Amino acid sequence: MSDPTIQRHDTAEELAESVAAALLQRLERAQAAGEVPQIGLTGGTIADHVHQAIARLSPGSSVDWSRVVVWWGDERFVAPDSPDRNASQARAAFLDDVGVDPANVHEMPSTADSASVDDGAEAYSHTMREHGAGAFEVLMLGVGPDGHIASLFPGDAALDVDDRIAVGITDSPKPPPERVTLTFAALNHAKAVWFLVSGDGKAEAVAQALGGADVHEIPATGVVGEDETVWFLDEAAASRL
């Protein structure tokens, strides 16, 4: 497993451009080697900036998006057309425009797909077992002010689940309360893990994570890439390092 490295950028916009460019380069290399790369997406404000940058930069790259498999690290268990869904955000920002194969886009279940959040987690686990092939080429994760990643929150029992791909969360401290999230067992199956963090409200969590805090207090410490672990930070998020 890799040691973390830090990339600092003056602004969130520069951070987003850097992440998008790095992603496209990594996908180009993987496809040139004959691979069909799989990526894990996240949600949130900085992720939306990244997605928009991907849409802007993709026409200048050689990435064949029909040969990219798309997953999510977590999702709000809400109606399929809810703007709160991470998938809705990603579709609007870039997925609907870059030529992905719909069969390769694996959204987490909504309330229209599964009777309960636990059923949704089991369904997504099944989908990953059926269609996941090897590690994520790149897994992108946001980090909350409390140090959470995906929907793995400090002190939650889900942090200790090691025998399932995904679990249902019913009491998220951040609304909405019901979510489906990948577990550490699944998140730690990535060649590259990229943390995308912007804003001074995240600075303390970043400092604690990079300082080796306990995973039950700062869950972001619990995910490491096989080849690389990169913290993409703007100056505000890096202000306590």
- For residue 197, the SS3 value is strand
- For residue 48, the SS3 value is helix
CA atoms within 13 A on the CB side of 161: 19
For the domain made up of 4-234, give the CATH fold: Rossmann fold (3.40.50)
pLDDT in tens, 75-112: 999 999 999 999 999 999 999 999 999 999 999 999 99
- For residue 67, the SS3 value is helix
Question: What does the pLDDT read at residue 132?
Answer: 84
Question: Diameter of the chain by CA atoms?
Answer: 45
Q: Structure pTM?
A: 0.97
Mean pLDDT of 173-201: 98
Round the average pLDDT of the chain to a whole number and report it: 98
pLDDT category of residue 32 using cuts at 50, 70 and 90? very high
pLDDT category of residue 173 using cuts at 50, 70 and 90? very high
Convert 121-150 to b/e letters by CB count within 10 Å (16 or more is b).
bbbbbebbeeebeebbbbbbbbbbebbbbb
- For residue 47, the SS3 value is helix
Provide the residue ranges of all domains of the chain, joining segments of one domain with +. Answer: 4-234
Question: What does the pLDDT read at residue 40?
Answer: 99
For the cut 80, the answer to whether the pLDDT of residue 133 exceeds it is no
pLDDT category of residue 49 using cuts at 50, 70 and 90? very high
To 5 degrees, how large is the angle CA 108–CA 157–CA 72?
A: 20
Q: For residue 92, give every residue at least 6 positions away whose Cβ sits within 8 Å of its Cβ, in sequence order, or none.
A: none
